[in-house]
Amino acid sequence: MSCGDIRNGDVLFRHAFQPVAFKGQKFAIEKFWRLSVDQRGALLTSLAWQKYVPEVRDVHNHGCRMASRRNAAAKAAKKYSEKSRSVYCGAYAILASSIRRLPGQHNLAEVVSAHVLHHPEEGEIAHADLVVVLDASRVTDIEATKTAIIARLWMMSSGPLKHECADDTDLDEHPNSLLENAPRGLYRDLRSRLTQAWHRVRCRLCSGIMRRWVRA
């Protein structure tokens, strides 16, 4: 059984948090699909692979854990404040095949390749990297390139799946109300019930394999 090969038909989720995905009280696409530059000049961001978050509740649990870790780290560093508090708001979905079609798209001539790679980290088996490799000779403005890629990723997204974590029930108004509908509409799980059941079983099997591999 392969537990690390992300296929074109697989769904990946991008989680949205306040304040990092917002400008004030406005949801900001460029901050939500934030891309960083690695030492090789490739663009990176993080996703969660549906294979290891097979149900919507798993997607949301993943997001709640991420927000909790960020807040705990800020408190440990004595940098926490209610204004900077990380609040998980929901997730958007995108197909692996849509990401891999980035090369050759209009206005993206500098994109050489786009990959989705399984990369567990911080104890999250579902974590995956989105890696966009660029032709440096064609890049004249890296921020403009990032903006063009982000716009295309947003156009291929669906959602949001809104959520309120147990840690955030004290908020008078949850920021998930500020999330925008994605261009491809609300996310719909098109898997049959039988397929969903199999995916839950597969997740447990693969999660056990991955945990043993990480401990080895």
| Dist. CA 143–CA 139, nearest whole Å | 10
Whole-number average pLDDT of the chain? 93
Whole-structure pTM value: 0.93
Q: Is the pLDDT at 1 greater than 50, yes or no?
A: no
User: Could you tell me the CA-to-CA distances from 175 to 19, 36, 48, 71 in Å, in that order?
Assistant: 9, 25, 21, 17
**Cβ-contact 86, 158 below 8 angstroms:** no
**Cβ-contact 42, 133 below 8 angstroms:** yes
Q: Is the pLDDT at 199 greater than 90, yes or no?
A: no
Environment class of 104 (CB within 10 Å of its CB; exposed 0-12, middle 13-18, buried 19+)? exposed
| Dist. CA 19–CA 142, nearest whole Å | 24
- The dihedral of CA 43, 49, 53, 54: what is its sign? positive
**How does pLDDT run across 10-56, given as a tens digit for each residue?**
999 999 999 999 998 899 999 999 999 998 889 999 999 999 999 99
- The dihedral of CA 111, 115, 119, 122: what is its sign? positive
**How does pLDDT run across 99-147, given as a tens digit for each residue?**
999 998 888 999 999 999 999 888 898 999 999 999 999 999 999 999 9
pLDDT computed for residue 49 by the predictor? 95
Residue-range domain boundaries for the chain: 11-215
Q: What is the mean pLDDT of residues 172-193?
A: 94
Residue 88 CB partners (closer than 8 Å, separation 6+): 15, 16, 17, 60, 63, 64, 66, 67, 163, 165, 168
| Dist. CA 213–CA 174, nearest whole Å | 39
